[in-house]
């Protein structure tokens, strides 16, 4: 019995070590989204139960090099900042299927046809998932988003933006989770 527990513990540590870099990347990208993209922009392109919001979210997610571990915090950040459920689902479906890095690997290993087909399929499945979610969502509840304060409107220096990225991605966002 002790051997099983020890084996479980070491396997848990190994899996955690393999997932950690991708989770950290997801938290970092969530911080970048928070610091760089204003809430109004996210609501404009990813808000509402529209076809275009699902398309925009899928297009935005396809080139990002996020795996299924790192896409979750990024998707949560989008939703928290005003994206609709449908566009968030579209992003969550299409992003882990592809990424610039995996498209290039697909091209080198399987050739150009597969390198073209993978992003197209990721786009189609992402949009379909987002539209399906939008059709199930009868009335979208208004999500509490960041208030546009004078502090947020203030132009930040590069150093302040970097601090904001890490503060949000690795402190505030982790507390929300």
Integer Cα distance of 56 and 25 in angstroms = 22
| Distances 108 to 75, 78, 101, 121, 133 between C-alpha atoms, Å | 29, 32, 11, 19, 35
Res. 151 pLDDT band, cuts 50 70 90: very low
pLDDT at 137: 77
Domain ranges of the chain: 2-134+154-176
Q: pLDDT by residue (tens digit) across 152-177?
A: 456 778 888 888 888 888 888 777 76
Is 8 or 101 the better-scoring residue by pLDDT? 8
- Per residue in 27-64, pLDDT tens? 888 888 888 877 888 888 888 888 899 999 999 999 88
Question: Distance (Å, rounded) from C-alpha 101 to C-alpha 152?
Answer: 34
Cα distance between residue 67 and residue 163, in whole Å = 25
Beta strands in the chain (DSSP E): none
Answer whether residue 96 shows pLDDT above 60. yes
Whole-model pTM?
0.73
Stretch 1-20: mean pLDDT: 90
Q: What is the rounded average pLDDT of the residues 112-123?
A: 93
| Cα distances (Å, whole numbers) of residue 174 to 82, 166, 169 | 18, 11, 7
């Amino acid at each position: 019995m002790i051997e099983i527990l020890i084996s479980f513990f070491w396997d848990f540590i190994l899996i955690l070590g393999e997932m950690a870099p991708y989770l950290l990347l997801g938290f970092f990208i969530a911080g970048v989204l928070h610091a760089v993209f204003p809430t109004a922009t996210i609501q404009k392109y990813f808000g509402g139960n529209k076809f275009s919001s699902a398309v925009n979210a899928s297009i935005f997610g396809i080139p990002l090099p996020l795996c299924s571990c790192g896409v979750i915090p990024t998707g949560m950040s989008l939703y928290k900042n005003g994206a609709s459920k449908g566009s968030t689902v579209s992003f969550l479906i299409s992003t882990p299927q592809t990424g610039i890095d995996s498209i290039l690997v697909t091209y080198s290993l399987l050739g150009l046809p597969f390198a073209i087909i993978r992003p197209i399929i990721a786009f189609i499945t992402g949009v379909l998932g987002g539209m399906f979610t939008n059709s199930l969502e009868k009335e979208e509840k208004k999500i509490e988003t960041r208030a546009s304060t004078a502090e947020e409107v203030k132009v930040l220096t590069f150093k302040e933006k970097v601090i904001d990225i890490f503060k949000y991605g690795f402190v505030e966002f982790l507390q929300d989770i």
